[in-house]
Structures are given as structure tokens and as C-alpha cells.
């Protein structure tokens, strides 16, 4: 398990205030590379906040279509000997012998790449193959508008690392009834969502009908794609969506709400799910 103390570090800074400098310590969110391997072959190198690497790897592989569920996975382990420098920055996912996994070099349109903490599907040459996996979600249960407002309002309470550092994103899962299910933080908003979905994958909770995915920052195409693949019908963000996010949400029948602040929000897709 990754050492929790690695997700932040205190750094000395020169503070300028009221016309003078002073010395002080400042908590900074950590960012380190994580190499994700599948059966020993590199799948991606992503910049992330250390912690919950297992969930991150599985969430990413599920979103990309490499695995169909946790039953496809035999082991998820950090590589190298305990105590080795950099051991916790490489993780290998080994599928069970009977699993029909899609290996990295078999994914259509994929190319080897370094992905950043702000990057969700940078390893793809085309988005077409990702769109194919976003089949429309059923309408299912409806929810009141207040449920979305309350979910976003409660996001602050799930951001412990942000409260210390001011330098990371959060993804939170809650039910239509307002129960908080899980929350994760990371320097990358896509990583935070992958960690959350990976955690639900390990619990065999997918698909996540009747749930709201709440994210800090903007709602990008990649976040809508991850929500749709996980079967999450509602994605709510404190900021704006992109045009491609709106297009995909409409296609996948995901309710997409942006600028959710106080008692107001913009609903860009799937308004029929809100009562």
C-alpha cells in the first residue's frame, strides 16, 4: 500500500504580504509518475498523486476497455523489491489466464505515450473507438434538481488534501438520495475519477445506476466517457463543460450539469432525468 504521507510535502516559501517578505512552510500536493503495465508491457505513464494506485490502474484499464471487470484480474502489484527507489511508481496488472483482455497493442488507434495528470485519453489517435463503448444509458430513476445541488455543495467536505494544499481535484460518488459513497483526490481530475471507478470495480458495484458523479474543475469529454462506461447517469461539475462533452452526454444519455453553484446550475444534456 502506498504511504499516505507521499500525497503532500511541506516546502519553504517566501511569503510576500503587506509590502514585506516572510518565511513560511506551505503544503504542496505531490505529483509523481506512475507506469501502468499489463502483463509486464507498458500501457501508460501517467502523472498522479501517489495513493490508491491499484484503483487508478484498474479504473483506467476499465475505461479504456482493456478489462471488462475485476474478475478479469489476477493480481495488481507494484514492481520491484520493497524499499527499492521508485518501486511505488510502477504497477503491473496481471489478468487471469481465462480472461479475454484486450492487450495494449491490440487496442484500435492506440499509440504509446506519456499521459499527464490533466490528460484522459491522450494515448488515442482517434476518439471513434471510445465513442463505440458509450452506448446510451437507460433513463432509469429520476431525481430532483436539489439532489444535484446538494451533491456539489457537499464536495467541499470530501476535499481534505485540497484543504491543505489548494492544488488537486476531487471526484465524489453519491446516490440520488444524497448518501456519499466514495471520494478521491488527485492532481489530475481524470485520475481522481479513475480511482473512484476502480474502487467501485473492486467492490463489483458497476454499473452505477442511481448515482451522481461530482467533479471539481471543468467537465471534459473524457469524464463523460468514463461516467458513461461505468453506468453513472449524472455528471455534475462546478465549472463548464466542453462542446464535445455535451455532444457525448447527449449521445450517451448522461445528464450533464455544469456551473453548479449555490441554488443554480446549467443542464446541458439529459434534463428529462431531473424532476
Residues assigned a catalytic role: 119
Burial state string for 91-129 with b = 16 or more CB within 10 A and e = fewer than 16? bbbbbeeeeebbebeebeebeeeebbbbbbbebbeeeeb
What is d(CA 176, CA 183) in angstroms, rounded to the nearest whole number? 16
What is d(CA 171, CA 238) in angstroms, rounded to the nearest whole number? 11
What is d(CA 117, CA 115) in angstroms, rounded to the nearest whole number? 7
> In the numeric block, which cell numbers belong to residue 15?
511569503
Place of cell 484522459: 120
Q: Where are the beta strands (DSSP E) in 122-167?
A: none
> In the numeric block, which cell numbers belong to residue 131?
465513442
**Any residues with CB less than 8 A from the CB of 43 and at least 6 apart, and which?**
36, 37, 61, 66, 104
What is d(CA 10, CA 26) in angstroms, rounded to the nearest whole number? 5
> In the numeric block, which cell numbers belong to residue 127?
476518439
Q: Compute the radius of gyration of the chain from its Cα atoms.
A: 19
Amino acid at each position: 500500500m502506498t504511504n499516505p504521507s507521499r500525497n503532500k510535502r511541506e516546502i519553504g516559501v517566501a511569503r510576500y504580504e503587506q509590502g514585506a517578505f516572510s518565511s513560511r512552510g506551505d503544503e504542496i500536493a505531490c505529483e509523481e509518475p506512475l507506469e501502468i503495465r499489463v502483463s509486464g508491457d507498458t500501457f501508460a505513464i501517467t502523472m498522479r498523486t501517489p495513493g490508491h494506485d491499484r484503483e487508478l490502474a484498474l479504473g483506467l484499464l476499465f475505461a479504456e476497455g482493456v478489462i471488462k471487470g475485476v474478475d478479469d484480474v489476477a493480481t495488481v502489484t507494484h514492481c520491484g523489491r520493497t524499499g527499492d527507489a521508485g518501486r511505488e511508481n510502477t504497477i503491473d496488472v496481471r489478468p487471469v489466464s481465462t480472461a479475454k483482455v484486450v492487450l495494449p497493442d491490440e487496442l484500435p488507434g492506440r499509440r504509446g505515450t506519456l499521459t499527464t495528470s490533466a490528460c484522459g485519453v491522450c494515448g488515442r489517435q482517434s476518439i471513434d473507438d471510445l465513442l463505440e463503448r458509450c452506448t446510451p444509458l437507460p433513463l432509469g430513476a429520476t431525481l430532483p434538481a436539489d439532489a444535484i445541488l446538494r451533491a456539489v455543495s457537499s464536495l467541499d467536505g470530501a476535499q481534505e488534501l485540497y484543504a491543505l494544499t489548494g492544488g488537486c481535484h476531487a471526484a465524489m460518488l453519491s446516490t440520488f438520495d444524497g448518501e456519499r459513497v466514495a471520494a478521491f483526490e488527485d492532481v489530475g481530475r481524470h485520475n481522481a475519477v479513475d480511482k473512484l471507478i476502480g474502487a467501485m470495480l473492486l467492490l463489483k458495484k458497476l454499473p452505477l445506476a442511481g448515482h451522481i458523479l461530482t467533479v471539481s474543475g471543468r467537465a471534459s469529454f473524457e469524464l463523460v466517457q468514463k461516467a458513461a462506461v461505468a453506468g453513472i447517469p449524472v455528471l455534475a461539475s462546478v465549472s463548464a463543460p466542453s462542446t464535445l462533452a455535451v455532444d457525448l452526454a447527449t449521445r450517451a444519455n448522461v445528464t450533464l450539469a455544469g456551473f453548479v453553484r449555490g441554488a443554480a446550475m446549467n443542464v446541458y444534456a439529459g434534463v428529462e432525468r431531473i424532476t
